Chain A
Amino acid sequence: MPTVKNWQLGRDMAYPYDARYPERQFAFVFNINRCIACQSCTMACKSTWTFSKGQEHMWWANVETKPYGGYPRWWDVKILEQLETANPGAQVWGGTPGDGRLAPYGTFEGQTIFEAAARALSPDSARVLGYLPTDEEWNSPNIYEDNPVGKRGVRNALDDTGVQLPVHKTWFFYLARICNHCSYPACLAACPRKAIYKRPEDGIVLLDQSECRGYRKCVEACPYKKTMYRGNTRTSEKCIACYPRVEGTDPESNGEPMETRCMEACIGQIRMQGLVTIAEDGTWAEDRYNPLYFLVHVAKVALPLYPQFGTQPNGYYIPPRWVPRPYLRQMFGPGVDLAIENSISPSRELLAVLQLFRRSNRIIFRYEIEEGPKIYEGSLHGRKVELYNDTVIAFGKDGRELFRTTVEEPVHVRSNAHANSI
């Protein structure tokens, strides 16, 4: 098997094809700390792409309640278990998270789904370790989500206290997911008909319906379970990253690259999506003032989802602060502790960049900060906080200013009835 460089793992790894890198890569950052599971993203995707007959159980974008929930159920537990069985006790990280772009999380010493397949599977044509979820596992995308239940016999009305559901007695969080448009897609690697391809201009991974014969090898291989089979067409389908919007060819985009529907719809303002520049060796080329580059490589608050699977996913997450660290380290790798520390007390620049989320639907290619005077110094959660009257300016693909965000002291308008009160 050829060898490719996986910077998220800090090492080379085996992959069924030679490395080919796009000029730019579709990527996104989700700030889990803000997600309220409103499912607006899920419905934005559903109502755009998967509302037809045969797609009833198909949710390209979903939000699941961790640690109990999953769509399909137990997807991550199952693949983690398979890897553990293939390489018992050795799925570990070594080295120390560092500053460089090449091994920011140290080195993964275990086996990826490609490496484990080479050792554990036969025949040779089985290129990726995976499994095919059952119909039942696909059936309940929202299982364990905790919407308060109605009273028995009373429909269309919420119970005030929600006491009817088994309430989570402990920590949980909402994990919003779409296809990661991986740099080394497992779906692509597994397809015997080469029906799946990665676009050289933006790294979006697409599945050619006219080539697909419904073997479901991609469904079996994708460790994130983001390709889905459609019974009435007998082909598989997957997230297309709303590519007309990303290209700027969607009529609504007016020629400018736009973020996807799920990003646009996000009520909690947790999502930012963009295109990052890829270097010759497949790493992210230094692009200091691209907001995604800043969040992943400079502030180091955004981490890949299960990097140990080995597909080099392009979805990044600001991990939830309250969740036990061992769980988070398994899910996001060894960068978790630094990411949480940096997000609890955001730096001056991070605070500014976080204000870029969801202020526009255009893709932000670059930002600039105009520094203003210090307006506050104090402490929060035992850490020093400094606030500045900075202005952060977002620029689109052709360098045009999209918007600027600045801070102002709030003005309190007293009501006529209480003119003397505060």
Chain B
Amino acid sequence: MSYHDPEPEDPQELVGVELPGDEAVTREMAATFADEFAQLGLTRIQILSLYRRAEYTGAHQAWRLLGEDEIARIVDESLAVYGRFVWVVTDGPEEVAGSVAQPLRLVRRGS
């Protein structure tokens, strides 16, 4: 965290350059997060809080730029597809009691 004014002589000082990017890019980033986290099974509240919280700067920046309503629309669009079901993960049956798992043994080729 920076608590000082910038020191131009400091080699560690942030020196950003602006690269082309526009609202469409931000919108696409917001839609990507929405798709990914909807696919992971997060709820609407959970996904929206990702945008609202300043810690997640990418998502949060989109929220600040596009506004709560637009972000909610983007999230709902993803949830309309990927929020239709939940993923259920079931662990496989445990090893048969008493059997000893073997370490991976791979044959060396050639010399």
Binding site for B on A (CB under 8 A): 20-21, 23-24, 31, 33-34, 36-37, 67-68, 136, 139-140, 143-144, 146-150, 152-153, 155, 158-162, 164-174, 200-202, 246-249, 254-257, 269, 320-324, 344, 351, 354-355, 359-360, 375-376, 378, 380-381, 385, 387, 389, 394, 397-398, 400-410
- Cβ of A143 and Cβ of B14 under 8 Å apart? yes
- Cβ of A162 and Cβ of B81 under 8 Å apart? no
Contact residues in B for A402 (Cβ distance below 8 Å): 91-92
- Cβ of B39 and Cβ of A354 under 8 Å apart? yes
Question: What's the tally of chain B residues with a CB closer than 8 Å to chain A?
Answer: 61
- 15 CB < 8 A contacts A-B: A20-B110, A33-B32, A33-B33, A158-B55, A161-B54, A169-B18, A170-B19, A174-B58, A200-B109, A321-B31, A380-B78, A398-B102, A403-B92, A404-B90, A405-B87
- Cβ of B54 and Cβ of A359 under 8 Å apart? no
- Cβ of B87 and Cβ of A409 under 8 Å apart? no
Partner of B14, one of A166, A255, A380: A166
Bound CA–CA A150/B3 (angstroms)? 8
Partner of A34, one of B20, B36, B88, B109: B36
B residues 95-111 near A (Cβ < 8 Å) are 95, 100-104, 106-110
Binding site for A on B (CB under 8 A): 1-3, 11-12, 14, 16-21, 25-26, 28-29, 31-33, 35-37, 39-40, 50, 54-61, 64, 77-78, 80-93, 95, 100-104, 106-110
Q: A162-B60, A202-B106 in contact; A404/B3 too (CB < 8 A)?
A: no
Q: A144-B14, A146-B57 in contact; A351/B104 too (CB < 8 A)?
A: no
- Cβ of B21 and Cβ of A165 under 8 Å apart? no
Contact residues in B for A324 (Cβ distance below 8 Å): 19-21, 25
- Cβ of B20 and Cβ of A170 under 8 Å apart? yes
